[in-house]
Amino acid sequence: MNTLQVSLADRSYPIYIGDALLSDRELLCQHINSKEVLVVTNTTIAPLYLETVLANLTEYRCDSVILPDGEQFKTLDVLNHIFDALLQNHFSRQVTLIALGGGVIGDMTGFAAACYQRGVAFIQIPTTLLSQVDSSVGGKTAVNHPLGKNMIGAFYQPQCVIADTATLNTLEQRQLSSGLAEVIKYGIINDPEFFRWLEQNIDDLVARKTSALIEAVERSCRDKADIVASDEFEHGVRALLNLGHTFGHAIETGMGYGSWLHGEAIAVGMIMAAELSCRMGWVSREQVDRITQLIQAAGLPVKSPTTMSTQQFMDLMAVDKKVQDGRIRLVLLTDIGKAIVTDDYDAEALQATLDYFQSQS
């Protein structure tokens, strides 16, 4: 088992990465400080892993909530099911919530923990590649609003994260690829050496070779933890993690939550950002091609949805959180391994990029 410390002053916490950690009772229980535990999971994960986790918790007054599975259920209404369960159990401010599932479960459970009685403890057990490398690091929790993704939430850190790579064996291939999109992102924005490692190992990752998965999860978490530690509340460098997200969120919203997976939308979004960067003369055509090829090799889409117009993209991008005083701020590239946040790009180049993807789709 590898342990990685996310350093955030008095809110620091460890991430444990390894094989078959789910049945490690001691690992889990050392981070629970009271007798009350609520496990939050979904209809897909519950039959696979809930029993294993509950078997570790026989010493506690414990209950579980099983939410419907999917991004379309990441709403205030469904969040309320968690509050219902907490209150029906008369759970106090000392309760610990355990998020067992992917990013949606992690985001909702974390937000419920941030809000229940103004803040209780929670533990993340991410069971998808995407959540192991993304939402488990950094303390971003949220639910969606019909008018925008992740618009209602909190910065809130868990007690610990337990990333069991064995859980990735039950993942659908499409979900695995979606996680690889975020893994690739870390290479593109900040870690050129990791990008090259990914070019060499992408086939092993797609084939779920355990050693490759552990390496990819650990390097991704380390890259993200470094960035988050230097900018917990996203005033600066942390915004680089949004590479592909402004385009990607537009796709997710435009297509309806749950139609495109988050990683799929981000994958195309990253290629769009690279394309715009290329049109600005900041990266070469060859670099855009390398990015596109790696994303394709990961089993991800490289074209935008056929049904979305340039205007629809522009409208949806305008409600994204990255808008400041009316200008859409984007994460763009000056190299593979070097991203910048900027609104100093040519509006016509953005238009041309969107038109280009429209014509390709």
Q: Is 184 exposed, middle or buried (0-12, 13-18, 19+ CB in 10 A)?
A: buried
**Residue 118 and residue 98 in contact, taking contact as beta carbons nearer than 8 Å:** no
Nearer to its own copies, 138 or 269 (CB): 138
Estimate the crossing angle of helix 173-190 against helix 210-229, to 10 degrees.
Answer: 50
Catalytic residue among 238, 264, 275, 329: 238
**Residue 125 and residue 158 in contact, taking contact as beta carbons nearer than 8 Å:** no
Nearer to its own copies, 86 or 133 (CB): 86
Nearer to its own copies, 242 or 292 (CB): 242
Candidates 84-92, 121-129, 191-199, 207-215 — which segment interacts with its own copies by CB under 8 A? Answer: 84-92
Burial readout 316-348 (b: 16 or more C-beta within 10 A, e: otherwise): bbeebbbeeeeebbbbbbeebbebbbeeebeee
Nearer to its own copies, 78 or 352 (CB): 78
238 tagged catalytic = yes
182 tagged catalytic = yes
Binding its own copies (rule: CB under 8 A), the pick from 43, 88, 169, 360 is 88
245 tagged catalytic = yes
- Other C-beta atoms lying within 10 Å of the C-beta of residue 88: 10
Report how far residue 332's alpha carbon sits from residue 190's, in angstroms, rounded to the nearest whole number.
12
- Other C-beta atoms lying within 10 Å of the C-beta of residue 87: 11
Binding its own copies (rule: CB under 8 A), the pick from 29, 76, 207, 347 is 76
* Minimum CB–partner distance for residue 7 and its own copies (Å): 19
Question: Is residue 3 near its own copies by the rule CB under 8 A?
Answer: no
Report how far residue 322's alpha carbon sits from residue 341's, in angstroms, rounded to the nearest whole number.
10
Question: Is residue 83 near its own copies by the rule CB under 8 A?
Answer: yes
Question: In residues, how long is the chain?
Answer: 361
Question: Is residue 267 near its own copies by the rule CB under 8 A?
Answer: no
Question: Is residue 352 near its own copies by the rule CB under 8 A?
Answer: no
* Minimum CB–partner distance for residue 114 and its own copies (Å): 7
| Residue with tokens 């379309």, as numbered in its chain | 72
- Other C-beta atoms lying within 10 Å of the C-beta of residue 125: 30
Binding mask 319-338 for its own copies (x = CB under 8 A): x-x-xxx-------------
Question: Is residue 115 near its own copies by the rule CB under 8 A?
Answer: yes
Catalytic residue among 219, 262, 279, 329: 262
Phi, psi of 249 (to 5 degrees): -60, -35
118 tagged catalytic = yes
Q: Binders of its own copies: how many residues, by CB under 8 A?
A: 37
Candidates 38-46, 73-81, 158-166, 298-306 — which segment interacts with its own copies by CB under 8 A? Answer: 73-81
Report how far residue 110's alpha carbon sits from residue 349's, in angstroms, rounded to the nearest whole number.
39
Pull the structure tokens for residue 230. 């230097």
Binding its own copies (rule: CB under 8 A), the pick from 31, 140, 185, 224 is 140
Residue ranges that bind its own copies, judged by CB under 8 A: 34-35, 76, 79-80, 83-84, 86-88, 90, 92-94, 114-119, 140, 142, 145, 147-148, 151-155, 233, 318-319, 321, 323-325
Give the catalytic positions in this structure.
Answer: 118, 140, 182, 224, 234, 238, 242, 245, 249, 262
